[in-house]
Chain A
Amino acid sequence: MERRTFLKFSAAAAAVATVTGCESSSASDPLPTPSEPVLPPVGEGVTWGSCATNCWQACPLKVHSKDGVITRIETEGKATDDWDSFDHEIRPCPRGRSMRQKVYNHDRLKYPMKRVGRRGSDEFVRISWEEAVSSVAAAMQKTYAEYGKNAIFMPLGGGSHDLNTGVTQSSVRLLNMAGGCLFFHNDYSASQYREGSAGMYGYLASNDGDTVGFWNTGSSLRSLENSDLMVCFGYNPMEARLGGAGSGYEYLNVKKKNNFKTYYIDPRFTDTAVTATDEWVPIRPGTDAALCEAIAYVLIEDGYANIPFLEQYTYGYDKYEEYITGVTDGIARTPERAESICGIPAEKIREIAQAIGTASAPFVTQGFGPQRQGNGENNARAVMMLPILVGKISGAGTNHGGTPGNDGLSHYAMMPADSLKDLMNMKIMDVTIPAASHLDAIEFGTQMKPSTHDVRYSDKSLMDADTPLETNVRFLWLASSNMLANQNGDINRADRLLNDESLVDFVVVVEQHMTASAKYADIILPEVSWLEMYDVIQSYNKMDCGSLMYAYGITPAIDPMFECKPAYDICHMIANELGIGSKFTNGGMTYLDQVRKVFAEFKKSNSWIQGDTFEEFVSFGPQRRPAGEHPNVGKLRDFVTDPVNNPLGTPSGKVEIYSQYFESKQSQAEGTDEINPLPVYFACDESYEDATASEYPFQCINYHGKHSAHSIHASTPWLNEVLEHHLWLNPVDAGAIGVINGQKVIVESRRGKLEITVRVTPRIVPGVVAMPQGQWRRMKGDIDVGGCANTLTDSKPSPVAKSFRSNTNRVRVYSA
């Protein structure tokens, strides 16, 4: 006990010792008065940990350890497990179940390191913490002095997604206090959906200071208890969000309870469709809007369009009807015209349209696959058009055509005033670029403007003047992020840019594992794993994660491994070097003090939570309650009840079928991109109809598989064994190119080549190949043998959201 206590206390003091050793002109941080720490158990013990992965489920892990070593993960056992009464267990999926192996994985980062080879070469030498933090601080100061704050960029990262006091929060706090940085808006995952839905509905209920209100989610899956039809476009919770109290389990239960008909529209016959016994309607990637046009044609022709509703609640329906019926350009968007584009027989299109037209409570929904395309904004809007056409966007059993949602719990960031609202007023929020644009910002940042690249300034005069960025990005800070050389488009381009030392001065990586992106670091700062942390964890706010709100506290199961430190302590050390240590720690608060403060804030707005102190809260384990409906649903209901007094956030205050927001963005279209104010289909680069891509006969999509939420679990051996990384290929195509199940193939796009095991399966449409995203890039010559999907994808942004078109790729496939 004495040794452990000493270690705990000395961790806080170590940061200070480093300052006194190399004291700069700044006042050194006073020694924090350490609060009594919550120590890992001695002998046999049980602690609560979290799988804080970026799937939104934030599953609790009951961690058993013995003599300071984790021995196994148990199921929580804190509920009756009765779904009907909202008291079901939050059961982790294989990712959470494999957490012990992730903690002890061979690729854990153990010591601070500095790069000695080419960026990406994985050649590092161990250095001291003192050298590491002083190098980072010096590089920050140099960048601020030479180029200003907007040369520093912190890409989006998912590695501490569900934490409140993790590496993302600590890094944002440090960068904001140190002088700010260029930040991002939107994200990689669903920006086309966000922008598309905002064009149509405006931003619905955005809770005070809750940036996630912008997701525009809709009705809960439980409301399917009142539906008589479901039409799903690429919505796949049993693979993407399978664990916890998650939406996969939610959908399964509601489907078994009320056996409504589901048309499941997807290029893949997914595990969701298999398990819920939905009718699979195979479709070509990127053609959802073409299908929706044809469904709309039937709804209009057969008199199912709810004209009184459309006249009262929508803007621009007349233009849409003219387009669909062929008045505009002489081309009627009939099922017969659409079938050879989307692959769905005309009679099936008519059947789906009739089903929507005659349903009393249709639930039309979409995942994020259809919008992750070069025409994704329009796919998202086209799907939303279907319930709008029949006037069923609000009311029991219906949905507004977007992704499902629930009410939820907000995150509490460690901001100076401890609320996310402050994030909006921070230095790092005054200039933002789209999340997927940082390679452009490295290469030609000073050419990026609001009118062309969706650069956003909080200062309206800079917007009005169409001001370009003042500098290229030259310094990258990765906080548990693989968004530098793995999870962003066109990784070969990323590799070229990051190795151009005239462009990139410095890369800092705070991480747990030697990821593909970590190999590009100049300095690596090793962070403790999720099972070595304290935090307040709660179900993700207002997203599609089932109908439970839940929260629990986590404490370390084991002491920090090797020389790893909590991110807060790492950032504190750097803050000390910069002379702002005391400011960073709010006058000497420890990591655990911050966690306790977050809990106090959390408790203030969640009186149902048991426990008056963080320690008491931890001892209760996971606490849960029914989540209720998302505020968006109430907002839409108010609008339908009284549209005059409850306008939407669109320019007209109505549902904009003809989007004035999209109209205002038309100057941003480039090349073959289209920005059409109407939610209609167009063929973009490398889509099915792009004849210039004929040397690359297959469309290639990547999906969020069961193995990894993004790329977080990519190196866990158990997961790689039981959820093999593989490429889905239809038997007809396999026969044509002469490959068999289980062999290695090369997949090649205009941007790169990867090697992957092929799985010959009828569960994918012919002409399309699919692979899970998230494996880590590993080059052998010019071939990525790791099988990272982004070796193939393009970094060209989508037309409106300027986001990631990861499902728009043309490839060829041949034997390795």
Chain B
Amino acid sequence: MQLGFYVDTEICSGCKACMVSCKDKNDLNVGRNFRRVYEYAGGSCTDNGNGVFSQSVFAYYTSISCNHCDIPACTKACPTGAMHKRPEDGLVMVHDDICIGCSSCAQACPYDAPQLDEARGKMTKCDGCIDRLNAGKQPMCVDSCIHRALDFGPIDELRAKYGDTAEIAPLPSASITKPNLILRVHPDGQPVGSGAGSVVNPNEV
């Protein structure tokens, strides 16, 4: 069985409730975010020179945590074996006792999932809220989403429900790590590698 996330970029308003509830649940200091919301915007709004505007602007938000990938880049990069993928549910986790905090995994992950706990010198990341899963609950981010744009569960069931798209700009190509992620693409969603827009909120992620 493999668990994964569903993210609806059409109805995400970038409110960041998922980020904050995750920080609250996991006691994350400023600078450490297991979930991040990317604002991708492009097009233009210009004055035609006579005081009249033309616009072709688009924008959308993508909330991304760890995608518990089929081919995780982080586990491959980890020199100690601390970063590992669990066979029973496919969740990618850190063995805290053997992690040396070298950040190799963070540099390798194209989704920026591993987040260094500088105070302890240990890598930390989304564990799917395993304690909540064991108690029969959904991860905190899913439960806290004000627009109900997030879902979590066995990836086969989610794909049957939502399809199997896993790509949208500014994310990397899904072929790199085979993420257990499903996206509903915003009507203005741009393809991976598109130069039509840019991440305008780098300081927030």
Contacts and interface: CB of A to CB of B under 8 A. Distances in A.
Chain A interface residue bracket vs B: 35 or more
A73 B146 contact: no
B55 A93 contact: no
Interface string B47-80: 1001111110101110000000000000000000
Interface stretch (A167-175, A182-190, A339-347): A339-347
Contacts, number: 157
Interface stretch (B11-19, B104-112, B160-168): B11-19
A238 B15 contact: yes
A266 B136 CA distance: 44
B44 interface: yes
B52 A340 contact: yes
Contacts of B19: 94, 722
Given A724-B201, A766-B45, A75 B144 contact: yes
Interface string A712-724: 0000011111111
B21 A277 contact: no
Interface of A is mostly: mixed
A615 B84 CA distance: 49
Contacts of A763: 41, 45, 57, 59
Interface string B138-156: 0000011111100000000
A280 B17 contact: no
Contacts of A100: 24
Chain B interface residue bracket vs A: 35 or more
Contacts of A93: 15, 17, 146
A760 B41 CA distance: 10
Contacts of B200: 741, 759-761
A238 B31 CA distance: 26
Given A340-B50, A724-B204, A280 B55 contact: yes
Contacts of A101: 24
Residue picked from B33, B37, B200, most chain A C-beta under 10 Å: B200
A340 B52 CA distance: 5
A723 B53 contact: no
Given A97-B24, A763-B59, A706 B15 contact: yes
Contacts of B12: 275
B26 to A, nearest CB: 9
A390 B30 CA distance: 53
Interface stretch (A128-136, A241-249, A652-660): A241-249
Contacts of A730: 45
A722 B201 CA distance: 9
A560 to B, nearest CB: 22
A767 B204 CA distance: 26
A581 B15 CA distance: 46
Interface of B: 10-17, 19-21, 23-25, 30-31, 33, 37, 41-47, 50-55, 57, 59-61, 143-148, 186-188, 200-204
Shortest 6 CB-CB distances between A and B: which pairs? A340-B51, A97-B20, A275-B13, A94-B20, A343-B53, A75-B143
30 contacts: A72-B24, A72-B25, A73-B24, A92-B17, A92-B144, A93-B17, A94-B17, A97-B17, A238-B13, A238-B15, A239-B13, A249-B146, A249-B147, A269-B45, A272-B13, A275-B13, A282-B45, A282-B53, A339-B50, A343-B47, A343-B52, A344-B52, A718-B23, A723-B204, A724-B203, A732-B46, A762-B43, A762-B45, A763-B41, A763-B59
